[in-house]
Every structure is written in C-alpha cells, then in structure tokens.
C-alpha cells in the first residue's frame, strides 16, 4: 500500500501546484513574455522530469515498478540483437523494444528505460510546441507546457510508471511536421508507417479519420501502402504471423476501468465479458466516432481538427475496449492541455485535475488487488477495498465521457 499512498500524495501535490498555476495564469503568462521560452521550457523539463528521476531512482535508489519488468525483459533480449516476436515475446510494435534497448547500452537497469521514456516525452512536448506554433502564442504555449509538466497524469505515469503511450502523439505530429517542412504529403504516409513500427497496433485506428483531414489522400495512402507492404513483407519473412498474433493477444486481456468492467457487475455478468465481439464493437465505435468527427471538422485548420479527432478516438478506446485501463490518459493529455482545456471554466479545470488523480491512483490499486474483475454487485461489496476500486473505476469512466463530450462540443461549435 506504500506505493498507492505515495502516488496519492504526489498526485494531490501535483494537482495543487497545477491548480495554483491556473489560478494565476494571467500574471504568469505576462511574466513569461520576458524570458526565452525555449530556455524556460528546458529548465521546467529538467526540474519536473530529470530532478525527480535522480532523486527517486539514484539518490533514494527506489526500484521501478508498473510495466517496467516487461519492458526491461524485452529490451534485454533486444540489446543482444535477438529478433523480436521470433526470439522473444512482445506485445508492442517491432521497433519498440530496440528503442528501449538503447538505454541499456549505457545502464543495464530498469531505470534506464524510464530515462528513455522521459526523453521521448520531452520530444513529444517539444514537437507539440512546434505543432501549435501557428495557432497559439509563445507565452501561452509555454504556460500550457508548464501545466502539462505538473499534471499528475504526465509526471507520475512518465517518471514513476515509465509509460510509453505519449509516443503515439509524438509519432503522429512528427509525421505532420515532416509533411509541412517538405511540402510533400507522401512523407505523412511514410511517417504513419514508421509510427506504427515504433508504437503499437492501435496506432492505425486514426487512419480512416485522416482520409477527411489530409488533402490528396491518394498520394499519401499510396506512399503508406508501399512503405507498409515492404515492412510487412520483412516482418512476415522473419517472424511469419507472430508479428500479428502477439500484439493481438493484448486485446483478449480483461482490464479495468472501461465501460464493460463497470457495467458487468450491474448486469450480473450477462454481458459476457471477454467475448471477442466486444473487441469488434469497441473497434467499430472507436474508429466510427473518430471518422464522423473528422468529416464534420474537415474544413477546420488541421492542428485543431486533428487534436479533437485524436482525443475522441483514443479517449473512446480508453473506455470502449475491454482491455483498456486508465494509463491510457497519457495518450491524449498533451493535445487536451494545449488545445481544449478551458481555464475560465472552474468546473472543467477541477474535474480535469480530479481525472488525472484518479487515473494515476487506480492502476496501482487494481494491480495490487490482483486485477479483480467483478461479475456481480455482491462481489463489489464483498470488501471495502473493492468498493473503493469500483468507485474509482466508475469515476474514471464517467469523467472520460465528460471530457469526450467537451471536446466534441467545442470542436463542432467552432
């Protein structure tokens, strides 16, 4: 329980600091205009990422937890130049363990993987500032960057949890920036394939929506098809169908919270949790909502439209897929903070900070309860700790609905 208490304290502290930052937003933004935004951003990143890392894992020599055991095992195999899928199991895309292995060349410890995650998140924050450079002023971008760095959902999941979900946002907007720099939309298609190879299979869920957001679809789809065909041919030649089977196994794993984990005990298990049909329902709902929104936003500026579509797709996935859990908040924190968070709406700000705290605290509680999955309401009330677990699940699912609705309304009312 020490980890849960520790995460709760850190989350509340971060939420308090973030709330204070928002309360004095006007004065802080005005003050930030007097400084070099790149220098301030670098200093803030060092203070909120590298300093906690050094204190926790070097000075106090704490042992990383969460998914780091799996990441570390895969990276150790990769650092020996073993072949992913064929020589070792991997639920992520083929390049993922090799990127983590880069850290092990310098430090053979799980802590090195957390450092890799911190560096990748730093890259995502920098590219996000570039992504919104034409639509948000430098002082506002810097303020939103500082807020993001203080959020419990980013700080805890990155520094303590070593989570990789933010990589997906990095790969998407990285591909966009290459497209804009070269003025050749084909590079977007190639970038999407590269992103798929570095992250995970759900990266492709945004594909149908991009048909309405990106001009000249034939050109970028053709480039993606060629790059994808070459990549898949190499994967099949080296691993046969293991490259598909191993990541797909993740979809069959029951996790919480999501709509099914919350609804299942209320319906006394008649929903059939674990059935493959729910995977397909979740997939269709996720891509369908994203595509509908993309069609409605097709005439809006790309950064605004894409950030809304991205949040709707992966926010929906967070509660629609029966294998989803609250760590997925890390997928869309950056675009929400930069584009959609309304600082003047106290209710929205308060619920957003609460949402961050719940998403950080629940995974640790759920895993330490040995991943309970409730089939009847009596199971929920069997122990007080289960009631707390279920209450957190319900809160996260309802708040996810709330913020998806917020983004949808703001985007379509533009």
Domain count, the chain: 1
Q: Which domain holds residue 37?
A: 2-412
pLDDT digits (tens, 9 = 90+) for 196-232: 999 999 999 999 999 999 999 999 999 999 999 999 9
Q: What is the predicted pLDDT for the residue at 47?
A: 98
pLDDT at 2: 77
Average pLDDT over residues 103-132: 97
Once rounded to an integer, what is the mean pLDDT over residues 19-29? 97
Whether the predicted pLDDT of 19 surpasses 90: yes
Tell me the pLDDT band of 248, cut-offs 50, 70 and 90: confident
End-to-end CA separation in angstroms for the chain: 46
Look at the block and give the residue holding tokens 């759920």: 366
pLDDT score recorded for residue 247: 84
Strand partners, 88: 84
Specify the pLDDT at position 3.
84
Output the six-digit token pair for 205: 């869920």
DSSP calls for 365-409: HHHHTT----SSHHHHTTSHHHHHHHHHHHHHHHHHHHHHHHHHH
User: What torsion, rounded to 10 degrees, do the Cα atoms 370, 168, 155, 322 define?
Assistant: -30
Q: Across residues 51-74, what is the average pLDDT? A: 92
pLDDT, position 402: 98
- Output the pLDDT for position 85: 97
Mean pLDDT computed over 142-159: 97
Look at residues 60, 117, 6, 110 and name the one whose alpha carbon lies nearest to residue 365: 6
């Amino acid at each position: 329980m020490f980890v849960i208490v520790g995460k709760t304290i850190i989350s509340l502290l971060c939420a308090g600091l973030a709330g204070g930052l928002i309360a004095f937003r006007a004065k802080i933004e005005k003050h930030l205009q007097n400084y070099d935004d790149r220098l301030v951003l670098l200093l803030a990143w060092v203070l909120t990422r590298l300093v906690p890392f050094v204190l926790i894992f070097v000075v106090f020599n704490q042992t990383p937890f969460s998914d780091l055991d799996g990441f570390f095992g895969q990276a150790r195999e990769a650092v020996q130049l073993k072949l992913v899928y064929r020589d070792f199991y991997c639920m992520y895309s083929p390049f993922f363990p090799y990127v983590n292995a880069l850290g092990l060349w310098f430090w053979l410890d799980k802590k090195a993987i957390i450092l890799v995650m911190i560096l990748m998140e730093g890259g995502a924050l920098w590219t996000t500032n570039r992504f919104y450079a034409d639509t948000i002023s430098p002082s506002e971008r810097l303020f939103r960057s500082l807020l993001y760095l203080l959020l419990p959902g980013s700080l805890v999941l990155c520094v303590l949890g070593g989570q990789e979900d933010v990589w997906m946002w990095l790969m998407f907007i990285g591909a966009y920036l290459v497209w804009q720099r070269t003025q050749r939309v084909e590079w977007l298609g190639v970038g999407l394939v590269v992103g798929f190879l570095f992250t995970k299979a759900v990266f492709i869920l945004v594909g149908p929506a991009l048909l309405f957001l990106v001009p000249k679809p034939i050109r970028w789809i053709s480039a993606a098809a060629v790059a994808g065909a070459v990549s898949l041919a190499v994967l099949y030649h080296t691993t046969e169908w293991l490259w598909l089977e191993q990541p797909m196994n993740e979809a069959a794993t029951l996790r919480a919270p999501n709509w099914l984990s919350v609804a299942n005990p209320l319906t006394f298990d008649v929903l059939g949790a674990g059935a493959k049909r729910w995977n397909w329902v979740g997939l269709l709902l996720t891509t369908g909502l994203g595509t509908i929104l993309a069609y409605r936003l097709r005439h809006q500026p790309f950064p605004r439209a894409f950030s809304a579509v991205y949040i709707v797709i992966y926010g929906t996935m967070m509660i629609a897929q029966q294998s989803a859990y609250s760590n997925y908040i890390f997928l869309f924190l950056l675009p929400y903070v930069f584009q959609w968070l309304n600082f003047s709406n106290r209710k929205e700000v308060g619920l957003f900070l609460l949402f961050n705290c719940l998403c950080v605290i629940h995974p640790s509680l759920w895993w330490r309860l040995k991943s309970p999955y409730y089939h009847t309401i009596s199971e929920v009330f069997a122990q007080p700790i289960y009631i707390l677990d279920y209450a957190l699940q319900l809160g996260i699912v309802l708040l996810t609905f709330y913020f998806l609705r917020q983004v949808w309304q703001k985007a379509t009312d533009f």
